[in-house]
Amino acid sequence: PFNQLPEAVTKAFDNGLYAGWKVDDTYTIHRDSMAVVYKIEVEKADSDMDLYYSQYGNLIKAVADKGNEDAPIVIPNAVHNLMNLTFATCTLLDIQSNSEGYILNMLDGSIYKIAQLNKEYRWQSTSYAIPEQDVPEIIMNSFQSTGYAGDTIESIEVLLEAAGTFYTFTVNHNGQSTAIRFDALGNMVG
């Protein structure tokens, strides 16, 4: 039942994009070598959607309900190796394909991370949100010295890639959502 899902999941649903939709069914999905995922089937008018959440309320994906979304996921050996070496502290939630290759949705403790792999399962980037208090001082000082310092911070995302580590602040600037990006040394970058 919906009321037996983790509170973080029900709260995320109630505050999310699909809050006005009617809940049909809810599921707990257990897969071998993966973290538990919570699924909420919703409908509105002629649309049926399946919403997948982590135990912490992160919306992993929202897909049109076609009735066969929950088949076992075969984890390729390359992904097993990557999880054991590069993401040893993470638990896999889902693997999705996209035009660039594959997306790994993971939990690193309670932190929801998304890794982009190429078509050969080689790591390209990892991104995740961090709270303001976890932003390195050099980055926060650089942000505070911009014309955006007085704006409301909507989110802060870390992006790790071969080119380096980047911090993107999304702020409400004059009523518009604006992104400001810094490199690891605090330099504002495009």
CA–CA separation, 3 and 168 (whole Å): 35
State yes or no: pLDDT of 172 exceeds 80.
yes
pLDDT-derived band at 8, boundaries 50, 70, 90:
very high
CA–CA separation, 103 and 121 (whole Å): 9
Total residues found in the chain within this entry: 190
> According to the model, what pLDDT value does residue 190 have?
78
> According to the model, what pLDDT value does residue 68 have?
63
| Residue pLDDT, tens place only, 107-121 | 999 999 999 999 999
> According to the model, what pLDDT value does residue 144 have?
96
State yes or no: pLDDT of 72 exceeds 90.
no
| Residue pLDDT, tens place only, 125-136 | 999 999 999 999
State yes or no: pLDDT of 69 exceeds 90.
no
Q: Which residues contact 45 (CB under 8 A, 6 or more apart)?
A: none
Q: What is the mean pLDDT of residues 11-29?
A: 94
pLDDT-derived band at 66, boundaries 50, 70, 90:
confident
| Residue pLDDT, tens place only, 145-162 | 999 999 999 999 999 999
CA–CA separation, 159 and 164 (whole Å): 8
Average pLDDT over the chain, rounded to an integer: 94
Query: String of b and e for 1-17 (b: at least 16 CB within 10 Å)?
Result: eeeebbebbbebbeebe
Percent of the chain with pLDDT over 70: 97
| Residue pLDDT, tens place only, 81-93 | 999 999 999 999 9
